[in-house]
């Protein structure tokens, strides 16, 4: 054998060593398994009821953010259909945030019907005029003697409320002892010190879908579909994610963060600006310049059970995926940008909003098509590839959470 042959074999061996591992993520997280996922969890009313009782009724749920308040001494209302509750979330003059059941203590009327606003002198019931202060205390009972009654005992019913980086969370489990930071665990640690205050809520979409909430979450929690879903994904998102030689998208990294997760789609070295990004940079050269301390251009965090917190360049988008029935979901999408400093940046934000909207429309149609297929029961399970590790992790977290609840 010649020296040339030896060098060729060495080069081939090096190429084989460097070849991508088709089981990279399964090998890194063997505890997630690699078996099929049952389709019953998307179509079975009994499974949905277990999720309601053991997950949503006992978890920290994001209900809004600082952007929902009009300022100090203001409020917003959040109705959570899966739990059958309406919440009045109040920010007092000192900035303290507290949620209450949005229910008058007199006869159970829904107390506040507006979506948000400044706190009135008293939150007054429209039925009989009972009035409550911003701290929930009952202050006004018009015209009347009430039997077996002490005002101090009949204020608004508070709900466990905590905030993190401007996001407001509630937990309706009165007997729960886990705090919000304990629930967030490593995810909160990974985002400690992030300048969320630099970003403002500028746009919001609410999309009603005939699909199970996990269908919507799973479909967003992977990038495998990007090169195939046509035509908008290929046109608008093509190039935004790293790909292999065949053009299929590839995760740059993935991490389990307790019961949450994050995936990254590019490194700074691999990222190539999209066509629209290049145009925007030409219009406003400073717009695409890095302003946020991101390790990679795109990071997608799933906060168990139903929130997404994602960063792309100098923007952030959040999803709250609200179950309303076993096959009905509201997908709440919020787009956060830094305040534009000139007209060009305002136009770029408007264009980005429309581009994002068009992608979401294509996604929403896909979610409903997935639900139709699942409900046909043509298959009782589906399989996942290594590039769908995020979905496998979410369902593992869901199963573990419900198992703990069952054994408690």
- We report the CATH number of the domain holding residue 360 as 3.90.380.10
- Do 226 and 332 lie in a common domain? yes
Same-domain check for residues 338 and 388: yes
Q: Contact 152/99 with Cβ under 8 angstroms?
A: no
The answer to whether residue 280 sits within a structural domain is: yes
Domain span at 278: 24-58+194-407
Q: Which of 115, 146, 177 is the last residue of a domain?
A: 177
Same domain, 166 and 275: no
The 8 Å CB, 24+ separation contacts for 264-267 are 264/295, 264/296, 264/298, 264/299, 264/300, 265/223, 265/240, 265/241, 265/296, 265/297, 265/298, 265/300, 266/241, 266/242, 266/296, 266/297, 266/298, 267/242, 267/296
* Domain identity same for 325 and 308: yes
300 falls within a domain: yes
Domain for residue 221, yes or no? yes
Q: Is 200 helix (H, G, I), strand (E, B) or coil?
A: strand
User: Is the same domain home to 169 and 205?
Assistant: no
Nearest to 213 by CA among 41, 36, 392: 41
Mean pLDDT by runs of 10 across the 408 residues of the chain is: 51 50 90 95 97 96 97 96 97 96 95 96 94 96 78 94 97 94 96 93 96 97 83 66 80 93 77 65 68 85 97 93 98 94 88 88 93 97 95 95 81
pLDDT at 13: 47
Last-in-domain residue among 109, 142, 177: 177
- 284 and 383 inside one domain: yes
How many structural domains comprise the chain? Answer: 2
Same domain, 172 and 304: no
Would you state the pLDDT for residue 239? 62
77 shares its domain with 208: no
Evaluate whether residue 148 is within a structural domain. yes
- At residue 365, the pLDDT reads 93
- Do 310 and 247 lie in one domain? The reply is yes
- Supply the CATH number for residue 86's domain: 2.102.10.10
| 117 and 206 both lie in a single domain | no
What single string gives the DSSP state of each residue in 84-118?
A: TEEEEEEE-TT--EEEEESB-TTT--B---SSEEE
Shared domain for 309 and 390, answered yes or no, is: yes
What integer pLDDT is reported at residue 243 of this predicted model? Answer: 78
Contact by Cβ (8 Å): 123, 115: no
Residue 343 lies in a domain: yes
The Cα 25–Cα 390 span in angstroms is 9
User: Does 345 lie in the same domain as 374?
Assistant: yes
Whether residue 3 is contained in a domain is answered as: no
């Amino acid at each position: 054998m010649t020296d040339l042959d030896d060098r060729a074999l060495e080069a081939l061996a090096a190429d084989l060593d460097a070849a991508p591992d088709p089981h990279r993520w399964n090998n890194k997280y063997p505890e997630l398994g690699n078996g099929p996922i049952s389709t019953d969890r998307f179509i079975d009313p009994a499974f949905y009821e277990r999720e309601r009782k053991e997950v949503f009724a006992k978890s920290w749920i994001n209900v809004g953010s600082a952007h929902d308040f009009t300022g100090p001494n203001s409020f917003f209302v959040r109705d959570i259909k899966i739990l059958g509750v309406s919440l009045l979330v109040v920010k007092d003059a000192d900035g303290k945030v507290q949620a209450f059941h949005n229910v008058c203590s007199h006869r159970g009327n829904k107390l506040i019907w507006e979506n948000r606003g400044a706190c009135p002198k008293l939150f007054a019931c429209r039925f009989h005029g009972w009035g409550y202060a911003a701290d929930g205390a009952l202050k006004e009972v018009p015209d009347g003697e009430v039997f077996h009654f002490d005002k101090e005992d009949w204020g608004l019913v508070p709900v466990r409320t905590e905030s993190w980086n401007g996001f407001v969370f509630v937990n309706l489990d009165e007997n729960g002892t886990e705090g919000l930071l304990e629930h967030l665990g490593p995810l909160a640690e990974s985002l400690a010190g992030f300048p969320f205050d630099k970003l403002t809520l500028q746009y919001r979409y609410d999309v009603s879908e005939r699909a199970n909430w996990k269908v919507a979450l799973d479909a967003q929690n992977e990038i495998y579909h990007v090169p195939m879903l046509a035509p908008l994904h290929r046109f608008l998102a093509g190039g935004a994610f790293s790909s292999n030689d065949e053009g299929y998208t590839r995760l740059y990294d993935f991490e389990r963060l307790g019961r949450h997760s994050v995936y990254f789609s590019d490194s700074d070295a691999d990222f190539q600006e999209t066509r629209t990004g290049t145009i925007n940079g030409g219009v406003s050269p400073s717009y695409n310049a890095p302003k946020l301390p991101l390790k990679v251009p795109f990071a997608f965090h799933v906060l168990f059970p139903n929130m997404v917190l994602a960063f792309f360049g100098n923007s952030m988008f959040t999803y709250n995926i609200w179950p309303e029935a076993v096959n009905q979901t509201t997908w709440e999408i919020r787009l956060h940008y830094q305040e534009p400093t000139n007209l060009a940046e305002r136009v770029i934000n408007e264009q980005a909003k429309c581009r994002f909207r068009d992608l979401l429309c294509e996604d929403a149609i896909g979610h409903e098509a997935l639900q139709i297929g699942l409900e046909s029961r043509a298959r009782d399970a589906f399989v996942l590839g290594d590039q769908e590790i995020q979905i496998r992790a979410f369902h593992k977290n869901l199963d573990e959470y419900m198992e703990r609840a069952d054994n408690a």
